[in-house]
Every structure is written in structure tokens, then in C-alpha cells.
């Protein structure tokens, strides 16, 4: 039965004129990274909202930066897993392929994916709270916490989307152009537009009801199986 589901996924992908992949916490978790989003995410006893929101940053920027510095350090050591690798390969397999992710660790790019739409920003970008200048910084751990803007001296913040913040406009537009829609609404809109939704998840997600094909298992196992059949012609 599972093999049938894989076969149906392959069939849907083969007949697709465009393919959009949307990844979330599970794909990062398979590379050993905690993402803290979702139920019960705690860091050093703090609820994730207490270290990943504008209010938290205003109240205690040092605590927020320690949280992100640790996440950056962990992400720097993590390696892309087979799910990342398969999706990187699919940008060449499919003529029109879009990859949007809620993950901020850069592992899709690490696997070779180009033009990744980062709906929640990136751990590797920092943004000045004063002049708004954004820059990439791959240093782990950061030399100075909190980091300061070289241009104006103001404190910098992580270039990620926090709880209570909107997805950046450019990511929003790019996602829309791919008939993709940020965050939770994405899959619903794709389904309403007639897309075949393939859910890859070890457990049923909130979006399982929209899925035309369900692959119940870790993405790092399921996507290579689909890919092997696609490659087999």
C-alpha cells in the first residue's frame, strides 16, 4: 500500500507542469536541528515566544541573541539530509520548480538549491534595528553579542521572521508568483487552484485533509524512494 502511495506521488510529479515544494520543521529535524516552532518548544526553560518575538527582543536582546547564536552554531554543524539532496536535484529534473521553506538554517542552499524562498528569513542574515541595513554573517559563535551595525552603531537583530511579524514582502511576492502562498495558507490555496498536494510527514499534519497523496514517513526516506522511481523513467 505504501508502495502504491509512492507510485501515485511519482505519477502526479511526472504529469505536473510545475512543481512547488514547501518544507517545514520536519526536514530540519531530520538533520538534527530543533526548530522550536510548534507545540512545546522550549529553550533553556523559556517558551519560544520569549526568545523569538519583537517583545522578547525589546525586553532582553541578549537572551534572544544567545538563543540565535546557539541555533546558528548548531546549524553550522548540521548537514543536509537526503530530503534536502533530492529537492536540490529536482530543480533540474522539473522545468518549473519552486522551493519555499519555513526553515531558517540554510540547509536547502547547503544541498545546492538555488532561489530558495525563505518565508521566515535566515539565521545567517542580521539586520540593523537603526538604519535597516542587512548583511550576511556566517561567524559562529558571533564575536560580539549583541552585534552592532558597522554603519550606524545601533544594535542588530536576527534576520528571521518572529512570532507576531509578517513574512517579508519579497518572499511573499516570490511565493505568490509560484502559485505558492506563505505559511499555513499555502497548501490550501494550491489545492483550491487544482494542485495535487503530496503530503510527506511521519504523522498527519493539520493539512492532511488537503492531500491527494500521502507519504507517511520521514522526508529523508520517502523523497529518495520517489526520486529513485522518477529517475528510473
Residue found under cell 522545468: 95
Judged by CB under 5 A, which of 42, 58, 131, 228 binds Zn ion? 131
Give catalytic status of residue 46 as yes or no: no
- Separation of alpha carbons 173 and 178, rounded Å: 9
Q: Which is nearer to Zn ion, 152 or 184 (CB)?
A: 152
User: Which of the 8 DSSP states describes residue 154?
Assistant: P
Using the rule CB under 5 A, is 160 a contact of Zn ion?
no
Torsion region of 183: left, alpha or beta (phi above 0 gives left; psi -120 to 50 gives alpha)? left
Using the rule CB under 5 A, is 150 a contact of Zn ion?
no
- Separation of alpha carbons 17 and 178, rounded Å: 12
Using the rule CB under 5 A, is 149 a contact of Zn ion?
yes
- Separation of alpha carbons 63 and 11, rounded Å: 48
Q: Of 33-41, 82-90, 139-147, 154-162, which segment contacts Zn ion by CB under 5 A?
A: 154-162
Shortest Å distance, C-beta 127 to Zn ion: 9
Q: Of 11-19, 101-109, 147-155, 189-197, which segment contacts Zn ion by CB under 5 A?
A: 147-155
Shortest Å distance, C-beta 132 to Zn ion: 7
Asked if residue 61 lies in contact with residue 147, where contact means CB atoms within 8 angstroms, the answer is no
User: Which of the 8 DSSP states describes residue 43?
Assistant: E
Using the rule CB under 5 A, is 126 a contact of Zn ion?
no
Judged by CB under 5 A, which of 58, 62, 152, 184 binds Zn ion? 152
Using the rule CB under 5 A, is 130 a contact of Zn ion?
yes
Using the rule CB under 5 A, is 192 a contact of Zn ion?
no
User: Which of the 8 DSSP states describes residue 155?
Assistant: B
Residue of 27, 11, 195, 39 lying closest to 100 (CA atoms):
27
Give the relative orientation of helices 82-93 and 219-231 as an angle to the nearest 10 degrees.
Answer: 30
Using the rule CB under 5 A, is 151 a contact of Zn ion?
yes
Binding site for Zn ion (CB under 5 A): 128, 130-131, 133, 149, 151-152, 154
Catalytic center residues: 120
Amino acid at each position: 500500500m505504501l508502495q502504491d502511495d509512492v507510485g501515485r506521488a511519482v505519477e502526479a510529479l511526472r504529469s505536473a507542469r510545475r512543481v512547488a515544494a514547501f518544507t517545514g520543521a520536519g526536514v530540519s529535524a531530520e538533520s538534527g536541528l530543533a526548530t522550536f516552532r510548534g507545540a512545546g518548544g522550549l529553550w533553556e526553560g523559556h517558551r519560544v515566544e520569549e526568545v523569538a518575538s519583537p517583545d522578547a527582543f525589546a525586553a532582553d536582546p541578549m537572551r534572544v541573541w544567545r538563543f540565535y547564536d546557539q541555533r546558528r552554531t548548531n546549524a553550522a554543524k548540521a548537514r543536509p539530509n537526503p530530503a534536502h539532496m533530492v529537492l536540490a536535484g529536482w530543480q533540474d529534473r522539473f522545468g518549473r520548480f519552486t522551493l519555499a521553506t519555513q526553515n531558517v538554517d540554510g540547509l536547502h542552499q547547503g544541498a545546492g538549491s538555488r532561489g530558495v524562498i525563505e518565508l521566515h528569513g535566515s539565521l545567517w542574515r542580521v539586520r540593523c534595528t537603526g538604519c535597516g541595513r542587512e548583511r550576511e554573517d556566517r561567524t559562529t559563535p558571533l564575536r560580539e553579542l549583541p552585534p552592532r551595525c558597522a554603519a550606524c552603531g545601533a544594535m542588530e537583530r536576527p534576520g528571521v521572521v518572529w512570532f507576531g511579524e509578517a513574512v517579508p514582502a519579497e518572499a511573499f511576492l516570490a511565493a505568490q508568483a509560484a502559485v505558492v502562498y506563505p505559511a499555513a495558507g499555502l497548501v490550501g490555496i494550491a489545492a483550491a487552484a487544482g494542485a495535487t498536494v503530496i503530503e510527506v510527514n511521519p504523522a498527519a499534519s493539520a493539512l492532511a485533509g488537503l492531500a491527494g497523496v500521502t507519504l507517511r514517513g520521514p522526508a529523508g526516506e520517502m523523497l529518495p524512494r520517489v526520486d529513485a522511481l522518477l529517475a528510473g523513467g
